[in-house]
Amino acid sequence: MGKRSLAFNKELAAKILFALSASAAIIAVGLICVFLFVQGLPAIWNIGVINFLTGTVWQPTWNPPLYGILPMIVGSLYVMAGAILFGVPIGIFAAVFMAKFCPRPIYKVLKLAINLLAGIPSVVYGYFGMVILVPFVRENFGGNGNSILTASILLGMMILPTIISISESAIRAISSEIYEGAVALGASHERATFRVVLPAAKSGVMASIILGIGRAVGETMAVRMVAGNQAILRMPHEFLSGARTLTANVVLELGDAYGDHRAALIATGVVLFVFIMLINALFSMLKKKDGV
């Protein structure tokens, strides 16, 4: 009897332990949500939702202060689009190459290089961007080098490992019968890969792109070091000028800010949070579609 209840207690304890571990992530997300919204929403309310989201002037130390974050929202969209432009084609082609065309010795080197790329801390990317990419863009394209273009190139590099490794496993997950069927019908290796296997892996590839976008939107350190950080509403043709992203806005000024300024920065965090939520929702929608 005693033995059995001991076993029962052990079982129960283990259950509780696992349940707690499993809920840790949920609790963390919940706490962050509560913190952000409790601290950020009143600020948005005070500034006015419309003024805050569509205001084009950010001058927090002025009297009266102006808190418009439209330049930052647009800035985030630009560098996100730029990162897609640079990162996605290279990433997908590299993934196809690694899954379907790569000789074994080269594969080992490539895989190593990509894992290395994934492991480099973003501050190192940022420093690299500052001392190599910024002068490179300045000398070859013009402007002072701290620009939307520079940030896009750097982010394109940073999202490569995400896109390559997830796309590669998506392509590998397509059963070989699909490929062999295409070849049996007379398609060449290239045609079968590009017209049959890659379309079949579409949703996995899309998922990799969306995760990459998530990384690009959330990236802070590296972007802040090369983007110039001007809170000015830019037009797309001004890609050689600098821009400030939502993340950069928060991290640039949070150290020195207090009072309303600080609240406005946390409110910027709320907008960023909603941004990321939308991207994640898109991701799970695609996954669901894939699962069926």
Partner 1 sequence: MLKKVIKSVFGLSVVAALGFSLAGCGGGAGNPSGAGDSAPTGQITVITREDGSGTRGAFVEVVDVTVGDNDGITTEAVVQPGTGPMLTAVSTDPLAIGYASTGRALSDDRVKVLSIDGIAPTVENMLNGTYAIQRPFIIGYGTSAGLSALAQDFVDFIFSAEGQEVVAREGYVPFRPEGAPQYTSSGLTGSIVVNGSSSVYPLMGHLREAYLELNPNVSIDVHGAGTGHGISAVRDGIADIAMSSRDLRESELEFMTPLTIGIDGVAVIVHPSNPIEDLTLEQVRNIFLGGIERWENAR
Given the rule CB under 8 A, which residues bind partner 1? 59-63, 89-90, 93-94, 96-97, 101, 106, 109-110, 113-114, 116-117, 120, 124-125, 127-128, 130-132, 134-136, 138-139, 143-146, 157, 160, 164, 188, 190-191, 194, 224-225, 228-232, 241-242, 244, 251-259, 261-262
Return the number of the residue (166 or 279) whose C-beta is nearest partner 1.
166
Decide whether 96 or 272 has the Cβ nearer to partner 1. Answer: 96
Q: Of the two residues 18 and 62, which places its CB atom closer to partner 1 in the complex?
A: 62
Smallest separation (angstroms) from partner 1 to the CB of 249: 10
Q: How far is the CB of 81 from partner 1 (least distance, A)?
A: 19
d(CA 93, CA 141): 26
**Is residue 170 within 8 Å of residue 98, measured between CB atoms?**
no
DSSP string, 209-228: HHHHHHHHHH--HHHHHHSB
Contact 230, 258 (CB under 8 A): no
Residues 6+ apart with CB under 8 A from 156: 82, 83, 84, 85, 86, 87, 90
Q: Which is nearer to partner 1, 110 or 286 (CB)?
A: 110
Q: Kindly report the number of other CB atoms within 10 A of residue 157's CB atom.
A: 20
Beta strands in 50-199 (DSSP E): 58-59, 66-67
Q: Is the Cβ of residue 8 or residue 35 nearer to partner 1 in the bound state?
A: 35
**Smallest distance, partner 1 to C-beta of residue 58, A:** 8
Q: How far is the CB of 200 from partner 1 (least distance, A)?
A: 18
